[in-house]
Amino acid sequence: MDKYKKNSLSLTGAVALGTGVMIGAGIFALLGQVAELAGTLFPLAFLVGAVISGFSAYSYIKLSNTYPSAGGIAMYLKEAYGKGTITAAGALLMAFSMIIGESLVARTFGSYTLQLFDVGENSIWVPVLGVLLLVVAFLINISGNKVIGRSSQVLAVIKIGGLAIFALGGLWAAGFSFGEALPSSISSEHTVSSYIGALAFTILAYKGFTTITNSGGRL
């Protein structure tokens, strides 16, 4: 019998973990890239990405209810397709997407941190700070789900508080004007491929719920 329940993430810790990942990747790291690719339609890209991710999240809910397990997405793939090529390929793709997402956030962290100092964008300190962040994240992950849950709660509060301050400051600077919130026309400067790329980034931004499932583990 599995003993993972005693070290499982709490509901609060799981919500904080998912929220923190989505804010970190979706807002801090990917917002500017989505805006560049989608132009004035970037709010729509986030909306469509949320709908697509909602279907994926619903499938995770149904799978977790049917196959309660701390093994994460790999366990769900095994239950759906058995032990074989499809399961292995799906698990590897998930691992690769996690690596890409973590690398993106880590480099963004390095770039944002250096904004406090008179350092160039191509400085060696950008990847150095990114690697240090990954090391810290690794140490937290190997410390167990209790540490992950508590650190996620603290970071979620900091991120949400900072985001609220940033949002209020942005609205104040914009004069609280919502007259141009929706675009009146689609820019010809953006191609179909750029919109698809923006949509892909928004789906990546909503992958916080997949991080929750991958934090499980069998003892």
Number of domain units in the chain: 1
Query: pLDDT of 155-169, one tens digit each?
Result: 888 888 878 887 788
Q: What is the pLDDT of residue 51?
A: 92
Share of the chain above pLDDT 90, in %: 3
- Contact (CB, 8 A) for 129 and 114: yes
Nearest to 215 by CA among 69, 90, 101, 24: 69
CA separation for the pair 68, 65 (Å, rounded): 6
Q: What is the pLDDT of residue 216?
A: 56
Q: Can you give the pTM of this predicted structure?
A: 0.68
Residue 219 lies in a domain: no
Highest mean pLDDT among 74-83, 98-107, 128-137, 200-209: 128-137
Q: How many helices (H) and strands (E) does the chain have?
A: 9, 0
Domain range spanning residue 24? 8-173+192-213
Residue 115 lies in a domain: yes
CATH (domain of 146): 1.20.1740.10
Query: pLDDT of 38-72, one tens digit each?
Result: 888 888 888 998 899 888 888 888 887 787 776 67
Which amino acid, 200? A
Residue 13 lies in a domain: yes
- Contact (CB, 8 A) for 187 and 40: yes
CA separation for the pair 141, 91 (Å, rounded): 19
CA separation for the pair 195, 22 (Å, rounded): 20
Tokens of 177: 């004007």
Backbone angles phi and psi of 32, in degrees to 5: -65, -40
Residue 48 lies in a domain: yes
CA separation for the pair 208, 205 (Å, rounded): 7
Backbone angles phi and psi of 179, in degrees to 5: -65, -30
